[in-house]
Structure 1
Amino acid sequence: MSLSRVENPCFLLFLLVFQAIFILILYQGGPSNVFRGFLESHQIQDYSKTHDVYTNLSFFTQAPNEEAMPYCSVQSPIFVGPLTVTFRVLPSERMIIQKNPLVQSGGRYRPPHCLAHYKSAILVAYRNQEKYLRHLLYYLHPFLQRQQLSYSIYLIQQMGNGTFNRAKLLNVGVREALKDEDWDCLILHDVDLVPENDYNLYVCDEYYPKHMASAMDKFQYKIQLAGMKIVRTPSHLGRYRVMDYKKETEIQESWRRPASRHNTRKTWKDDGMNSLEFKLLSRRKHPLYTNITVDIGYVPPFS
């Protein structure tokens, strides 16, 4: 390298900028985190213009040579941002299956054209909420495919007459899901929440728990969390629609607010992984999810 080139101010500036970017990438835990942060912080979202969640999904087709399959791009080529979400028409299971032909038995999916950077398991606590479930599956499968994730959806179903215990069911789901795969991320998902933006990435943070539903329409897209050190998806991306069937309000409230039914402070240790006790009744692969039916015992109502 000649002396005149080193002394060139433009070239020196280029070197400084390049070094700064390289240090930033290392500090943030790799290029994927840097690009993910860029997407989350700089993408302008216009919710007055929404798109169908199945838009351009056929862009992802089978690669001609699986042995030479490349890694998926950091940013999905079919991201559109705000999605159209409506619950006016209840989709049938047959329709959902037909619209998601690449989803395999048990609700498993991997991109057919590239190698996914992340493997995420979606855990849904469930009991007698068929309408919610169908709407969720209709939107969630294409939503996850748009992000080029390798994923599986697990439905953890509680049997018996005991109070619905969401925390314990999700702990069961964690244990059962890890039997199938060494997942990069475990997403604890409510059955009545549907994401409204495909830039809301279903991947975990490197160090802290991640709260994705940072804004819900039921609460005018404003949620405050106190006393927890977590990473929050920016509110302009973490928007969710809440299903609310008037005839099923009582069912919805009983599981979305378990503290009103049993004493969470007294039973939190029983909900933990170290003391987890349950009876696995069945484990069945459905075309759209893996159904795990359990008996977690009787939890008395809190009075």
Structure 2
Amino acid sequence: MRHAWKKKIVFCGFLILFILIIFHPDMNVRGNYEYIEKELVIKRLHEETAANFTSSAVLHCDYRDVIFDDTTLSLSLADDDLVEDHKIKEGGEYAPSDCKPKFSTAIIVPYRDIAEQLRGFLVYMHMFLHRQCIHYRIYVVEQMDSRPFNRAKLLNIGAVAAMKAGFPCLVLHDVDLLPLRPSNLYACTKSPRHMSSSINKFRFVIPYLNLFDGAIAIVSKQFKAVNGMSNEFYGWGGEDDDLYARLEAQGIKPCRFEPSTSQYHKVTLESQIRRDRSRKSVIYSKEKMALDGLNTLKFTEVATVLHPLFTHIMVDL
């Protein structure tokens, strides 16, 4: 009888240990996917600033301390106010004054009807990005019409505006994602990078290896090479798989930073849950890539306003 109880205790112990391992938020262990080792990150970065960007600083910014920063930012920053003298230019543009940045990045955010979340995102992101010593500008592209949401088309519109302004690097970014690690540098690597591979919604584990959504960094020339994203995805889902397929067709293999660096917090509001999720089925083909994207982009620009924290592009699709 005592022996049977011992067996039960041992079994329960193993069961509890198994559950802890499976559901532990940091179970995204080494080898979960291929990633760039921190020691190699600097060599893999695409070093380029915007064509019209100038800096009076003499010395270049050093990014080694950023890449090896092991701190995690508090989500409460989204509820705070920006510190005084934040030096953000009209339109949400910033560059450090004490050193010359090596990277210029346009952060493009598709958006509609979640003002409270946008405000928190902007405050958090500016405080996050100030730690990275890069030149950046935040573009918020808002869909004003009543049609189902078209995330990919809004990203195309923002990309066109950013590339027209001379930005060599694009970060395609959902408004409900907040990066947790300052070491997740908002600069492009030489190949497109899936930045948000470790999200709290999925217990910081990537659901499948070809996942390519949330936050993506891509060199502007590469985005042009695949003709941007499809304009046909109204509703939610599928457009990121299509972008991945476009890159694959061009022989471009995406990359990632290590899981701990790529951690994000996904903010979900009740209003988001009720949004329209209808989806038009779109079939991908290499031939279709040339006929659907940046070269077929049509929209009506309602207005473009330079706010203190962002460039606001309002459009009807």
Q: Same fold (TM over 0.5)?
A: yes
In structure 1, what residue type is equivalent to 2:110?
Answer: A
The 5-angstrom pairing of residues 21-36 of structure 1 reads 34=40, 36=42
In structure 2, what residue type is equivalent to 1:198?
Answer: P
Is the aligned partner of 1:158 residue 2:158? no
Matching residue within 125, 128, 134 for 2:113: 128
**Contact 2:78-2:123 within 8 A present in 1 as well:** no
Matching residue within 284, 288, 295 for 1:274: 295
CA distance in 1, matches of 2:200, 2:127: 21
- The aligned residue for residue 260 of structure 2 is 236
CA distance in 1, matches of 2:269, 2:306: 28
In structure 1, what residue type is equivalent to 2:267?
Answer: M
CA distance in 2, matches of 1:102, 1:244: 30
Matching residue within 199, 203, 218 for 2:201: 218
- SS of the aligned residue for 1:221 comes to coil
Q: 1:233 deviation in Å?
A: 2.0
- The aligned residue for residue 58 of structure 1 is none
When normalised by structure 2's length, the TM-score is 0.64
- SS of the aligned residue for 2:98 comes to coil
Q: Kindly tell me: are residues 101 and 170 of structure 1, through their superposed partners in 2, closer, same or farther at Cα, counting changes over 3 Å?
A: same
In structure 2, what residue type is equivalent to 1:179?
Answer: K
- The aligned residue for residue 283 of structure 2 is 265
Q: 1:232 deviation in Å?
A: 1.4
CA distance in 1, matches of 2:77, 2:133: 28
Q: 1:34 deviation in Å?
A: 3.9
Greater Cα shift, 226-235 or 150-159:
226-235
CA distance in 2, matches of 1:212, 1:275: 28
Per-residue CA shift, 1:197-246, capped at 9, x if unaligned? 0000111121x211000100011011123376310121110000000123
CA distance in 1, matches of 2:150, 2:117: 18
In structure 1, what residue type is equivalent to 2:279?
Answer: R
- The aligned residue for residue 177 of structure 1 is 162
Between the aligned residues of both structures, percent identity stands at 34
CA distance in 1, matches of 2:103, 2:159: 17
**Contact 2:63-2:132 within 8 A present in 1 as well:** no
CA RMSD of aligned residues (A): 3.0
Q: 1:286 deviation in Å?
A: 0.3
Per-residue CA shift, 1:81-100, capped at 9, x if unaligned? 33233369745xxx23x456
Does 1 or 2 have the higher relative contact order (CA < 8 Å, sep 6+)? 2
- The aligned residue for residue 107 of structure 1 is 92
Matching residue within 110, 132, 149 for 1:147: 132
CA distance in 2, matches of 1:250, 1:73: 44
- SS of the aligned residue for 2:71 comes to coil
**Contact 2:73-2:182 within 8 A present in 1 as well:** no
When normalised by structure 1's length, the TM-score is 0.67
**Contact 2:96-2:134 within 8 A present in 1 as well:** yes
Per-residue CA shift, 1:23-63, capped at 9, x if unaligned? xxxxxxxxx99453699xxxxxxxxxxxxxxxxxxxxxxxx
Q: 1:262 deviation in Å?
A: 2.4
Greater Cα shift, 147-156 or 127-136:
127-136
CA distance in 1, matches of 2:58, 2:67: 19
In structure 2, what residue type is equivalent to 1:231?
Answer: C
